[in-house]
Amino acid sequence: MPFLDAARRHPLTFPDGTEHRQMVHLSVAIDHPNWTVGLFTYANDFDPPADWAARLAPYLYPGAPERLMIGPFCQIAHGVRFITASANHAMEGISTYPFGVFDPASLEAYRGGFTGLPDTVIGPDCWIGHGALILPGARLGAGVIVGAGAVVRGEVPDYAIVAGNPARVIRLRFPPERVAALLRIAWWTWPVDRIRSCLPLITGGDVAALSRAAEHA
């Protein structure tokens, strides 16, 4: 079986040769004009849906004014939901009740009132834990870890660990100078063969050693 085959819908194969049907490469499983998904990003669900886009981002309809952009090598656990900006109700008036959606004659005008909505952006190599909720316009940097059940909004710095409701930064995974080095290295942009050759360093904790390998590759 090829190492890191981005074309496979189900990337995990058990020792007996059967595919793990609850896990998918999202770049293969999702065909949606408002989604952008990097290679090797996977999602796992104990009740795998027929429509992964609708399961993960239930309010993001084709042609919506916002996008969901997820980088490569992200890991998305069961129960994660992306609540994109089209889920919001207008809040300028006295009532937030969406009267316009119930009148076919005014539905298009109602939808037209939602413009310039913020995209939701997930950086490369993020791990989003079980049942986390990513709110409209959230922007996660590279290497972020989102704790189980967290409710995430706003900007999350590169290589931060966030948890809670509302999610707060618990700590950074590496000191700032190592974060800067990892962003320069950007291993997630490398060819698969190069990733394979440096795998012990990528999965290890020695940023300096990975940096040296990157310089001499």
Which residues participate in catalysis according to the annotation?
Answer: 89
Strand 160-163 to 168-172 pairing: antiparallel
Closest CA to 209 of 192, 185, 174, 191: 185
Structure tokens at 188: 């997630």
- How far is residue 115's CA from residue 200's CA, in Å, rounded to a whole number? 46
> What residues contact residue 38 under an 8 Å CB cut-off, 6+ apart?
27, 70, 71, 72, 73, 74, 124, 188
